[in-house]
Amino acid sequence: MNPIKKVYGYITRLKDHKVQVLVFQHSNPEAGIQVPKGTVEAEEDTVNALIREMKEETGLEGLHAETLIVEDLWENDDGVIHHRFFYQINIAYSLDEWVHQPTGGGEETGLSFHYFWISSKNDIELVRGHADYLDLIF
């Protein structure tokens, strides 16, 4: 079986001369705190998938992939191998926090994500795998 391609967005901003990264609390508390991510569709390249997924999950418009930070192969909790692509996306302005209902459909239909910013890897604990490359941002 081929690995499932996943894109992760480390959406960053500068506030008070400090880099911050966007994270969200899933409406299902068991899902933990995450960075926005999603699955690359068949015949879709990772940059287009990233922009699509970030808009669907965050509601943010006009995003541009700045840098592919790293790609790796990673085993998910269910044993499925993910081919992960971590991108940095810089934005100039955003609210400090907001709630967004993802628009991608599927299992996210009806959910709400509470978005907020962190200023270091140690501010909160992200779900397994999501903070793997935050050291390259902070």
Span 4-136: which CATH code? 3.90.79.10
How far is it, in rounded angstroms, from Cα 127 to Cα 90? Answer: 22
Sign of CA dihedral 132, 7, 68, 65: negative
Q: Roughly how many angstroms between the first and final C-alpha of the chain, as a whole number?
A: 35
> pLDDT of 1-53, one tens digit each?
789 999 999 999 999 999 999 999 988 888 899 999 999 999 999 999 999 99
Domain ranges of the chain: 4-136
pLDDT value at position 22? 98
Residue found by looking up tokens 């541009």 in the block: 64
> pLDDT of 53-91, one tens digit each?
999 999 999 999 878 999 999 999 999 999 999 999 999
What are the backbone angles phi and psi of residue 91, rounded to the nearest 5°?
A: -125, 150
Residue 48, SS3 per DSSP: helix
